[in-house]
Structure 1
Amino acid sequence: MVYLCHILFLSLLTTIKCVILSGSSDSFARFPKWAQTFENQLSFEFRTKSSAALLLYTDDGGVQGNFYTLTIVDGKLQLDFRLGDSNQDVLMERPVHSIRVEQVRVDDGKWHKFVLFQAWENVKIQLDSTVLFKILTQRSFVFGNLRTNSDVFVGGIPNDVHQFGKMSSPLRRHTKRFAGAIKNLVYRLYPQGVSSPQLISSRGTRLTDDDYCALESPNSGRCFSTNDGASCDCSFTDFNGRICEKPKTGQALSFFGHEWIGYDVTNHTSSLIQNRFENISIHFRTAHPNGLLFVAGDKSSYVQLILERGVLIAASKLFGTEKRIIRMFNKKNQPSRFDDDQWHEVILYRDVELLQNMILIFDLCCMKLIVDGQMDEVKQFSGDTEWLGNSFSYVGGALPYRSYIPGFTQPFRGCMKKIRYEADAQLLDIIELADQGFGQSIIRTGGDLSFSCESGRLSPAPDVLSFNSGTVSVAMPKWNSPSGGSLGFQFRTGESDSLLLFHGLRKPLNQTHSDFLAFEIIDGHLFMVLNLGSGTVRLQATSQRVDDPRVWHSVQLERLGRSGSVMVDNLRTDFSTPGVSANLHLDDPIFIGGIPNEYEAPATVWSAQLKKGFIGCIKNVRINGINAQISKYFNEQSDNSSKEEISLGCPSLSGSDYCVTDPCQNGGICRNGHTSFHCDCAKTHFEGPRCNDDPAVYSFARRHGDAPRIRLPQQKLSQAEDVEIKFRTEDLKAVLIDTGAFNATDRFRLSLDHGRLELKITIDGNRQSFGWGEGLNDNQWHTVRVQRRGEKLRLFVDGKWENHYILPNGKIDLHIDELNVAEPLQPYEGESEESISNDDFDGDIIKATFNEIDLLEEVRLRQKDRTSSEERSEGQRLKHRKVKSTTVWFDTNEGHLAFSLYRNTTQNGIKLALKFRTLSKKSLIFIIWNEKIIDSELISLQLINGQLRLTRISGNQLSTSTIKGKKWNDLKWHTLHLSELLSGGLKVSIENKSAEIDGTLPAFRFSGKLFLGGLPSGIPWPTGITPTEGFRGCMAALKFGNELLDLWSDAESGVQVEKGCRVIFEITIIYA
């Protein structure tokens, strides 16, 4: 809540506006933008007892790197600023200017007045009666643009980078907070002019400035006063709580030789911090003799703390001077080394002091090193160095190839805690920042930092797990905090949908009243889903996507009863659960990376319904602040198979472009994955990891009875679906996928209507229809995808995003009892049984899935059973086959079938489909022969050396084409299609290969014969057709035009052909 004290003196008709800030670690006050002109003035009054704090900050939004910062340093007021335009000052670098008022201390609890005036190159500040000037030697003096400038922040800068992201001087975010009162803030506003601004927002403000900190914190915390009394900042202590009374756990970091924490803004002049002193304190433990503990500085100076052969060495280098070092031995140990695997406390202090005698003013630099109470120091003249600069800082290691970072033998291996870096008013808690070094923060981390510490020489495997398949999970103990607690973890992934964590019952009591907690990524955003037994809250915890595989993200959940918050990369989102239940009652374990198959996830956990486990890295899982040691539980639960799907450590980001070699073939689209590449085969009919596998093709015919129907063991409630089907057809209308519910009107039907896709979704009686795509009944392969996430619906065709819709009414619960492919389950309202019978799919399907359920599994089993049945017994057929699906067997190479055909093919074109299997290398499949004209007119298809050859003869003209690259006499079932092209040519396709004959020959017209397998005796081979033996093998599923023909009953004549498909001929040929 915002508290703004107004003291109104009615007799004087004046208003004094005052903001009182507590100085807590998140306190600040936010005011509107400062409208800058060529002459600018800002003034206010303040009082405080803080000797180091941020008073005011504003900048130009990081456009030109301009800013104003007013801080209190050692009780003195200091102004840091940068002005100008780099486009005008092209011949010189615009520096950061600093002015410190040494004459007046402001931490005395008294009111002080400050005035800042800037006009062109003249800058004047006035503190009470003390006035200081500075003249800028640069060409431009602009500050920024009102559109891009930041607001004015008083007392602190929000920790949440999403509230204030791009900063000209980002390290100012880590300045100590102001505790005190500010009043009469006046500057130019737009469009009001010079006036007192209204408060926009604030945190940590107070009603009064009463001091409640008479008693010190019992455990060295920093006390500050709030509206509710005294509170404590427990940073750099081993305790938590309001007055630092609760022991803190899991605050040690493990370094394994590849890890580091730090920042580097050296290439941005405006980000430089100028200070007079630096103070670094570190607790460390190691069993290794060499390593970098800490380094900080800028391009011209640095301070470094390293371990070399077990000896601590502190080094200081200033611009224009020689390096100074201090060596410290462990006098309490023999040998006197610090690599004894014991905790040691190190304090490194460096400052620059301005000294003056009767004649000269000179700068003196002093460096002190204190280790376990032992102290040593070194002093030197600092030449012209008046300030210590800071633009980079690293702990444990550093980024390579930085010339201004001093060299070191190797990174640190061991444990650290209580890492504190203080530079004038800046204060960085490195342990805390290691947990926030993600997203937009300038603080970065490298390697696999782990919030735990083991004694001895550390194992090279850190407490990090890499989930490589998305199909397995790791179980951890339950969250034993029914009324409240904390849970945190860090992750890195490139997947847009995945389940990170699940904590719930094996079998939920029902969908709405069952306790559970889940974290999942949906459409690239992190969601928390929580139910305490009286209703579900689904909370989007991110404003930006978190599926960049290069970036780590940090998640922290805090809950007390029905209320709590989720913080992701410093973005905090509060929540409150519905109903009255306030406890999380669970005895089942916490699962990270996914959910076991025996667990039934609630419908509100969408990633679990989509069967999307986590692929990526997870580390630093902490339950109530305690490291969960996920690697230990993984090792206890893993077997040989799971070790391939989950591995210790996280793959390096370097060289992770797995698509650089173009691994996806046949037009597949490559996408980088976690440890490999992923090929999207939507634009091709090929399947497989590289889109180069010939998939099985399943043919369906209208009224054929082949459509698979899946009945679920129990009704499924769905709020998210991923549906995909890859098909080809010439049907104008056909149902592709249909669902139904026994006790509800809910439906999900995907169909084809005059070459256009149509999706009908009915939820709770409300039907919505959506259409997309054109000309999809062209007998070419097409991939259709439907993605629903609650109310959001996305429609794709052939890998291209087509439309995006929002379902109205807010109803998202779809009930499903059964699913069907290639035919409707039941009529929609207004449809008749007769009308939907014509909606059966007539064509081929390669793939059909619904939330990773393989809808063609039944068809695959049928085909497998049919093959084995045909091999066991002559003429046996599966029960699902009707008469029209008769399979015939050509026992000898003298057999044939003949059909009379009476069609004018110039209107609709030739369409023929047929299944066959054989071992014959050279035989006739079919001939279509026109007997009604003088010249020969025919189409033939033959096996020549196991390859299919298509021949077209018209009079004395002949054209042939062969499908090369594969032999089809492999005793497997194959489906071939013959069709007429728009150009008048012919095309034969078999599974995923095809051959064409161009359209230069006259249009094919006939009323003649179709011969399968061979020619009747007495009919000579046509001129131009290579004579072959008759076909020996099996044929099935003959379709001419849109009519399915029975090979046995519809044939006009047949010789040496029998029903069924025997194995005798196969054995004979194999052993011949």
Structure 2
Amino acid sequence: MSLSDHNDLPGEGGSRRLSNFSAYAMSATICSPGSSSRCCSNSNANNSQDSISDCQLHRHSNDFSSSHGRNSVSGSCSNNDSIYQQLNTTVQQPQQQLQAKLPLRQTLRRQHKNNSNGNAINASSSKLRNNTNANNVRPSSSIAEGEHIEGYPPTAYDVFTSSLTPFASCGRLKQHQKLHSPLLPIKIPASVYAVTGLLLLCTMLVSPCQAFQLDGSQTSFAQFRKWYTGLNGSLELEFKTEQPNGLVLYTDDGGTYDFFELKLVEGALRLRYNLGGGAHIITVGRELHDGHWHKVQVLRNDEQTSLIVDGVSQSSTTKGKEFQFGKFATNSDVYVGGMPNWYSTKLALLALPSVIFEPRFRGAIRNLVYADQPGGATRRQEMKQPRDIKCGDGPCDNGEMPKEKVPRGVRGGNTTDACERSDPCQHGGICISTDSGPICECKNLEYDGQYCEKEKAPSEATFRGQQFLSYDLGQTSAEPIVSAQDAITLYFRTRQPNGLLFYTGHGTDYLNLALRDGGVSLTMGLANGKQEMHIKPSKVRFDDHQWHKVTVHRRIQEISSITSFCRLVTVVDDVYTDHSHIAGKFTMLSSSRVYVGGAVNPRALLGARVHNNFVGCLRKVEFSADTLLLNLIDLAKSGSKLIQVAGNVEYQCPIGDPQDPVTFTTRESHLVLPPWETGKQSSISFKFRTKEPNGLIILATGSKQPRSKNAVLFAIELLNGHIYIHLDLGSGAAKVRASRRRVDDGDWHDLILRRNGRDAKVSVDGVWNEFRTPGDGTILELDGHMYVGGTGPAYNNIAWPPAIWTATLRQGFVGCLRDLVLSGKAIDIAAFARLQDSASVKPSCHVQANVCAGNPCLNGGTCIEGWNRPICDCTATLYAGPTCGRELATLAFNGSQHMTVWLGNGQGTKTQTEELIIRFKTSRPTGLILLTSAESNSPDRLEIALVAGRVRASVRLSDREKNLLAGQSVLNDNNWHTIRFSRRASNLRLQVDGVPPVREDAALVPDDD
């Protein structure tokens, strides 16, 4: 309590009127029911040298409130029916006695004033002294006249020196014959001090019945002196509230290990503490938020710590050999009701960083009693006022504590509730009564503003495979978040079937939430038990680029002293539910690590079922643990020191999603991407749709390394309606058909490929196929550009690997592609299309029906439905071009003429596939139509000839040869005929006109090639 100014009152002897009863901080106190004797110890009295001249009594508590505004504590009994202590000014009841020990705090000088009023009261004083002696109150003869003991003159000391029982409660002052005026200044000459009743009345006004209110707002807290716990220390307080959750008290050793945290959890009081040997938890009581006063005691006895609530006690024993609580010089102050907000930027100063996020206490506190000095006695503590808070108590600006960083949201105990008169809060906002009127608490609502009237933008973020949010309390040796129940709630939107959504764990305990194959997957490990669930309804996928909500709830219930039961429930979109449970030797859920949207190595996390990070948007990611609630995206966006942000996270979900599809409209359409950084492990995924059976989708190459058999190669192509994978790590090529059924049906199809060294597996629409590359190569070193959708005419002269048939045939992919992710990194292919100004790559995907309507093909060409385009087959005509509108040149040979065409810029070609279309007419039954040749020492050739009126195709590779004959009638009829020949490695196909083709699967290539 502070020393306030006081005004002179008129009257003889220069007597003064007290403007504030807390000004002199009288040493004697009055205990409430059940209080121990130490609650009557001295308050923080000031060293005033002024003498007490008189006391002015008020009937209404508001008349003697302290004058420090909203930060002050009223000097009043907070019970509505208990304002003043019932007293008898003549001390007629001997059982109402005071402590013998008087505080050694303040010395008051005795003044000698003689007047008639003084003589009258002095006579009354003598009578009172006689009455006191008659009740076995022994006067002291050891005090000389003029000496002063502990703030009282000798005459007062004579009255108070007996070992008497303190007053037992707060009560209303009854009107006495001499105390009947509602505002009666009783003037006491300075020479007289032994008026027992009046002295008790002055003392009463600073009694421990005082309470202060905490409004529970986001800046509400009270700050007190450090608690010296020692090995046998104690702390007491009383509280009342109607809120089931809230931080009551916290103190620690300055951010190392030791701490005491006292909080309400669903109406029960929980003490969590650490003295260096590990955290312990004690829980006592239930339904303590009943609006009544509850007394709390924390008692230490070496390694044993006890929590007592209303006489009910629970204890816990600390392990180890060191039981001291930090170092007193560096320990923190005691914080009541909440923590200063400046701690949110100084989490390293907290041994329990999660305390900063606890909900604040809303209610009343009184009788906070503990020792605040080594070797000192326990005493009732007074709240630190702004002038009492030094720079050592927190961060300073220019050597002074900023006003916004001192205790706020604290009021005197006898106040009116502004929210009862008017509650202006909307949309579920919580009304909080303050000295300046009601305010609205909009925390954890979708609204903000003065009255929670404004809808706020959702907390959301975009992840592209390399971004994620995390916290790791273990890095600072801080205590984990522990709870009896926790919950995860988040919203997601994605087109990717796989990705890590959320992970939390501590030690070997974990909870791993992810998308797997378009469903929601959850794995949990607790003690030695494990559970797994997968929610994937029939005909429902959650990778449909729509918002989906996931809620995971865990709750521990004690079955016996050695066994507990953990119930696990997962709900998707409030419709699809799965639940499970684990029984084991555990008591709490712990969290020291959290990952949102991914991790550095998601496959290394416990319980991992997916190996890549999330690609898409997350919204309102909340993690709650008992009373604690963390909105992780909001914390990351606000720059909270708790959250680490990996990568460039965008705190919004853009309307133009970078994963929107693009369309390759022609066979020449393509995009060129930077080299794909792979190494020993890599993955690729995308979605596609088309109606065309052939097309090159992805192609990337690397240089041939020393001692390598081949050049490095990776490619994905569509052949005859099926997906093929090409992979060569330099020691041998692998070619795998990844699809079991045709995928050129116009629907979206999903492809995922993962590799680890030589081992790889590929999935098309959820059907997995594993394979392994030959040789001993394990590294995929791609140093060339990645081509997406094809290679384009600018690269026609490049000798592409012969195994990539669509590259050899210049058949680019025509269709839609989206959600391209390379090794966990989302690729904005639409941005590449804009950057490369490729007009033939459109940033959308639409389906056009009946593209052959109206017969767009001219001159007898046949229209075939392609992907949003008509494909005109001009092979049966003398025309070419997209619509068969360009007339072809015709060559005539007399039997002795020929024409030579050099391939590959004169360097020749090496292919595994060919397609040949020739139209001819002749009257001769035999003749060479086409012949290919290679180097002089190579026997490889392809020959097309007319033999006895039929077409013969001969293919020779090395020392193997195969012949095919086609044509059911004589073809030397001088009419136009069409020859179609194609080869795919050892598969040969020959067709003449509309006759069914002749096929042959010839073993042209040696098995070891």
Q: What's the TM-score, normalizing by structure 2?
A: 0.42
Greater fraction strand:
1
Greater fraction helix:
2
| Higher Cα radius of gyration | 2
